[in-house]
Chain A
Amino acid sequence: MTEESVQGFKILPLVFSQQSTSWHEILLKEHSVRHQDELKPLGQTLFILNVPPYACETGLRNAFSNVGNIKRVIFENAEDQSGDGFKRVFVVFNKREYLLKALKLTQLNPLSSDTQPIKIGVEKWIEDYNRSICDSEQLQQEVNTYMAQYDESKKQKPEEVVDDEGWTVVTKGGRRPGISRKESLANKLNEKTQKSTKKKELKNFYTFQIRESKMKNIAVLRKNFEEAKKKVELMKQARKFKPY
């Protein structure tokens, strides 16, 4: 395993466990961007690319266990539907020196160690299943506390707020609450006004209107014809008309 780098990234092999025979190459580099993010402090954050899908926080802590304390691990996945499980990971160390140490590493520990194994495979699925079987008492408790909290938060909302200058905010509630601000409602109102203006129009009053409506009729026929033609053209391309 020779040390390699590409475009400022350092390449290190990462294996799942001691028994693994193949490895993924992960790319690491010090995190540096213009916009600072509190969660990813500059100088302490390691930016890693191509981390295999099954790597979790425990796994990465295992991998960097030789370096020093890790404050947090942040995963950035691609979208759910994309079918790409490889991740970008930000590892935030407690001190800068750990980061520097990490960048000098020539070898990473396996993701899964004997003391801190990653649960995977059938074991994980069994655990998931067993967890889905819940105790109804506990569940009841959980629901009750949540609902209690929810009711509480509802109640806490002040009925009327009088601000500094003595204005009272009157939106929802009150005697005449006004229209709620929903898109659907706004659309409905729009439609209504449009309809009423349309009703006032006289349709077959002027000769040009009659002419136009005739023209429109022909236009529709033509359009249908064009559409049909297009369809037949497509069918022709698909050699549909060869009956045998």
Chain B
Amino acid sequence: MDSDTLNDSDDSEYSVEETAPNKVKNKRKYEDIPTDAPKTKKKSKNELYKPPTVEELNNLRETENLFNNNLFRLQIDELLTEIKIKTKRESALSKWLENFKQCIKKLPTKEIALLNLSNSKDKLYKYLTEQEKLFKTDQDVLLKFTKPEEIQSFGLSDNNCAPGPHLHHRINLTMPSSCFLSKDYSNNRYLVKRYYYLLFVSYYLKQSDLVANLKISRYENNHLLPVIELTPKGTDKTTVFILVTPVEGSFKPTRFLPEQNNCKTDLFDSDIDANVLKNTPTIFYNSLLAHDTTLYINNQFLKSLLEGQKNIQDGVKLLTVWLRQRELNVGVGSFTETILIHLIAYLTHKKKINKFMSSYQIIRNFWNFITTVDLSKEPIALGETSEESMKAFKQSYDIVVLDKTGCYNVASFLSADLYEKIKTESRLALKHLDDNRNNSFNNLFLTKRPFHLQYDAIIDLTESLPLEIDHDVKSQQKCSYIGYKDLLIYKHISDTLKRGLDKRIVHIVPRIEAKEGTATRLLFGLNLNPDEAFSFLQKGPALSDFERASEFRKFWGPLASDRRFKDGSTNVAVYFKTNTIKAKRGIVAKVLRYLLVDKLGLRCRIHYDQFEEFLLCKRLVPSYPSGTNEETCLKIVLASNELGKKLRELSVSLKITGVQGVSDAFAYSEIHPPIPSNFQISSFTSIKGNNFVMKCDADGVPRYVQPVESVLQLEHSSKWPNDLSAVRHLKTSFYLEISKQLETDGLLTHPSRDYLDVFYQGIVFRYKLFVPKEIGLSKRIETDEGLTSFKDSDESDDLELSLNILPKITGALRGIQSMYPSYGPGTCLIKRWLRSHLIDEYHVSDITIDLLNASLYLDENTASNTPQMSFLRFLKFASELDWNLQIVLVNFNGDLTAEEIAKVESEVQNNRNSYPNLFVLTPYDRYSSAFTRRRPSKEILSRIKRLAAESLDYFEKMLAGNSSIGIKELFLPNFEGYNVLIHLKPSMVPRRFERISYGTVDRKVVDKYKLSKDDRIPIVDFDPVRDYLEALRKYYGKYAVFFYDRYGGCTIGVLWDPKTLETTDFKVNKINGGKVIDGRIIAFNEDAVIEDFYVIGKDLVKSIEKRTVCK
């Protein structure tokens, strides 16, 4: 073969025309080729176009019909495999269960009267007496112990519905009916028998070698439902819960319908009248008994329903993950797995779910059901139930989901408030599915939404546990709550809060964590209603409605007052006097304190607005009332509008048609907006024309005055010259023309080559002209053939960014601010935090932060009502942001269509390295992520991620009360780890007033601005520190990274690039910044460069500290 081919090639090369056999040979050779070399090349294309198999077609079609999209399906599959319980774990458990059954079958038969228990010398009885005594009864009972009738496994894991990695297995042991007398259901007799039976089982389990660890805990946090919680030997990450219930037929389930009474004596020390008790239905007590009685039947029913339904099982798994991520299934009164599984059963029963549906459709239908059906109004039942008994249930419980027997309300203990929250969450989940975005799966299943990030305010009542509140409750109500008096107290607190907060809130959700039946942590989460939450008036009933008015007065105590309103009506009302927006936000906290502390006499901690302290500028305050930046920003916006009106009315050669703000102050996201004021001459300044200028030998600098920038648009004209420089000169002449006209109006102006400054109402406004032609011209390149082409250059991009894109973005951000007033101050808080950690404008620009936070506000899931929540949610977002995988979408007004977004997403994903590290997609910058083009760098992004995660972690610890230090630590920079620290002279830092103040500081009040003839335009936008950093980065950016807190920091941190410190062999292009050692090696000339830092920052640098860093 080898020689053959050789011959062939020879032939074809040397003899062009040959005889037939040779041609045949040639042909064969030609055929050989495609099987060999180019196979790999064509593979990808062939793969796409090869005929599909039936299976593949089905799969593709199924994805289209049954799932959202490919990605969603794959993600579901991936998640399901990830949370699958390991087979190893499962088989270990089933092996253990066999042994367990053997052990249980060997249980001896014994009996003893309760009263004799303590006198007995039997080891078992001794053990029983040693245990905590949970229940009292009205009479002595005979405890009969024998092996259980049946051992039933149940729960999610048994039905293959439980997500891993931990395996929680539930077992139900049925006590034979011979253990009971017919009337044992009443007065705790059953409960006592059950409890001792449970202990009896636990005793023998402990004796056996099956158990690694065993304790008595409570089933689904119900303190009257003791359960054995044990870790089986020979398994890992496995927990087994053992419940004891009466065997079917021991009690009639109808005995526990809500109108029945099953507890005639006060066995729970509730201090109630026995006569009342006798005639009152014991609602929750009944539920408890009904639960036990029906457990076996219900389990059988559910098992038969879910058997082999893989998709439904997967759906339940997903929903459990969803609940768990939102912590909605934690604590007393939560949305338990029992409720979940019954609801799924109900949907199957009603044919809303069937086995042909995909898991995606199942979760979708579940959410749809929760969103559309209000269970608090429409009770549902799994079996046949008469209308009457439904009615009875509805009257007794908040939410009614009746089981198969129709006697047990599965949702008895579900708190109505939590249910409301679940409805909201379901609605959001549906929205996520409809949005069909890349990260909707992430948001639904993969990200944790811990309690403290779900609510605008959190009330922590843990300090006042155990709760003892005197409240006048009808003893009848007390009776119906017998056994569950804590529930009544929670309800009372929640009702009081709801009454006091009224329309201010949408949700108030309790979170009660309990251990062994006693509450260990009591929290309430509040979701505010942004329209009403901060209203300063709470109107009560009219004065004429005497009875209700006096009730209102009684409720509000000293806060209530009688008021006459503009429309002539007179009402009793609560009025909160406030003069700042911050104080308005504080009203909620005020109401809460009044209700909890003054009214209910509780000790509490409220997590609501602590962080706002960092928004205050304590060193420099305006003369008008102001809290955060909001008041000053408002003043600026108003002044800018007035001045803009003036500008538009000018008669200049081309009319000014638009004035668009571009400064952060317009979106309220400037933490230190310039305070309107008069400026006097100082020891640093002298006068030049309309302006102050610096004295050359000044030994300090005046405080920083930021210009408020806007872009001017002119009416269209075709007469702009075709030359860049000429256009720019014409722009200058426009500045001069506008300036002249404004001067005749008595305004102070300063036109310069690139902008026009106007001093108006104590604020410096800076205007720049937007001439579209200028951008076009700056892109023009003439090619060699004389063809004119337009190419984006850095210059043209920057120009377009600042004059065309930025105004649109700022406008859109203003829109967000007016929709969500917390946006501005929230963004400020983020900036304050990030800058505190020495990550300055250069690393992450202000506008980038604005956009990132805007992306959170444009998503209903993460839009916040308070600055603090905005900040915390940003931390969460930043700590989870996978900038390499996902783009940040800032879809203002929904301008971008889903197709556009998908296109950009896949484009970025496929060519990840040619796009910015952090890709921010907005409708205004032609998908270029214009603001993050050069930075942030990967290193900075990782650092932010780390910082955010740590800060959040710290905050969580603080919430849990484990941290002794305050939140101030979150805003303290860490100077460890830098190679060099440059200390600046504080007097030369113009932003020195913006530093965070700890403790008390000297306050300087800025006098109110008054129009005066002596006014001059102040030193504006002069910041030597900024200039210094600019120079450092320009000259040494390759060798080091510089860190600085822009808001008044006095120290610059320098970190050498690790490459800088390496030595290299001598090369001419490597010599920069180096020194030569031994005539052949280059080492970095560290000392000289450090001295350069000193030279460049002459008069600004106080000292430079070189640090040795241990690696």
Contact = CB atoms under 8 A, between A and B. Distances in A.
B1098 A228 contact: no
B104 interface: no
Interface stretch (A34-42, A64-72, A142-150, A200-208): A142-150
A122 B78 contact: no
B330 to A, nearest CB: 12
Nearest to B438: A231
Given A6-B1066, A84-B1037, A240 B787 contact: no
Nearest to A180: B788
B83 A243 contact: yes
A231 B786 contact: no
Interface in B43-96: 47-49, 52, 57, 60, 63-64, 69-71, 73-75, 78-79, 82-83
B1068 A183 contact: no
A244 B325 contact: yes
Interface in B1003-1036: 1019, 1022, 1024, 1027-1028, 1031, 1033-1036
A83 B83 CA distance: 48
A162 interface: no
Interface in B547-605: none
Contacts of A129: 693-694, 1019, 1022
A84 B1037 CA distance: 6
Contacts of B1028: 125
B1073 A231 contact: no
A229 B446 CA distance: 18
Interface string A134-172: 111001100110110010000000000000000000000
A217 B899 CA distance: 17
B753 A134 contact: yes
A135 B71 CA distance: 63
A186 B787 contact: yes
Nearest to A240: B446
Nearest to B743: A136
A144 B300 CA distance: 95
B118 interface: no
Contacts of A136: 689, 736, 739-740, 750-751
Interface in B411-461: 438, 442, 445-446, 448
A244 B1076 CA distance: 54
A57 interface: no
B726 A232 contact: no
A50 B48 contact: no
B82 A49 contact: no
B789 A83 contact: no
A7 B1069 CA distance: 13
Contacts of A6: 1066, 1076, 1079-1080
A133 B688 contact: yes
B689 A133 contact: yes
A231 B695 CA distance: 60
Contacts of A125: 1022, 1024, 1027-1028
Interface in A52-109: 52-54, 78, 80-86
Given A123-B696, A132-B752, A228-B69, A4 B325 contact: no
A221 B934 CA distance: 35
B753 to A, nearest CB: 7
Contacts of B73: 228
A44 B1006 CA distance: 62
B854 interface: no
Interface string B893-927: 00000000000001001100000000000000000
Contacts of B64: 221
B787 A181 contact: yes
B729 A228 contact: no
B790 interface: yes
B689 A182 contact: no
Contact of B52 (A186, A218, A240): A218
A221 B61 CA distance: 9
A181 B790 CA distance: 12
A151 to B, nearest CB: 9
A20 interface: yes
A228 B325 contact: no
A82 B1069 CA distance: 14
A136 B736 CA distance: 7
A135 B752 CA distance: 8
Nearest to B1035: A85
A82 B1038 CA distance: 6
Contacts, number: 240
A126 B694 contact: yes
A121 interface: yes
Contacts of A126: 694-696, 698
A141 to B, nearest CB: 10
Contact of A20 (B78, B324, B448, B1091): B1091
Interface in A215-244: 215, 218-219, 221-225, 227-232, 234-236, 238, 240-244
Contact of A244 (B324, B1038, B1085): B324
A139 B906 contact: no
Contact of A241 (B63, B79, B721, B1092): B79
Given A84-B1037, A123-B696, A240-B446, A232 B688 contact: no
A22 interface: yes
A82 B689 CA distance: 39
A241 B736 contact: no
Contacts of A53: 1031, 1034-1036, 1092, 1096
B885 A238 contact: yes
B374 interface: no
A130 interface: yes
Contacts of A243: 79, 82-83, 163, 321, 324-325, 445-446
B839 interface: no
B983 to A, nearest CB: 15
Given A54-B1092, A83-B1036, A243-B445, A182 B789 contact: yes
Contacts of B1066: 6-7
B1071 to A, nearest CB: 5
A82 B1099 CA distance: 27
A244 B448 contact: yes
A86 B71 contact: no
Contact of B60 (A16, A133, A225): A225
A201 to B, nearest CB: 21
Given A21-B1091, A228-B71, A242-B82, A121 B753 contact: no
B1024 A122 contact: yes
Nearest to A24: B1088
B872 to A, nearest CB: 20
Contacts of B988: 122
Contact of B906 (A52, A54, A227): A227
Interface in B710-767: 721, 723, 725-726, 729-730, 732-733, 736, 739-740, 750-753
Contacts of B1090: 22
8 contacts: A6-B1080, A53-B1031, A82-B1038, A120-B1098, A133-B691, A180-B788, A182-B790, A231-B909
**A-B pairs with the 7 shortest C-beta distances?**
A83-B1037, A121-B1098, A85-B1035, A183-B789, A86-B1072, A53-B1035, A228-B70
Interface of A: 4-7, 9, 11, 16-17, 20-25, 27, 49-50, 52-54, 78, 80-86, 120-123, 125-130, 132-136, 139-140, 143-144, 146-147, 150, 180-184, 186, 215, 218-219, 221-225, 227-232, 234-236, 238, 240-244
Given A133-B689, A218-B60, 7 more contacts: A5-B1079, A81-B794, A129-B694, A130-B694, A184-B789, A224-B69, A241-B79
Interface of B: 47-49, 52, 57, 60, 63-64, 69-71, 73-75, 78-79, 82-83, 163, 321, 324-325, 438, 442, 445-446, 448, 688-689, 691, 693-696, 698, 701, 721, 723, 725-726, 729-730, 732-733, 736, 739-740, 750-753, 783, 786-790, 794, 882, 884-885, 906, 909-910, 934, 988, 1019, 1022, 1024, 1027-1028, 1031, 1033-1039, 1066, 1068, 1071-1076, 1079-1080, 1085, 1087-1088, 1090-1092, 1095-1100
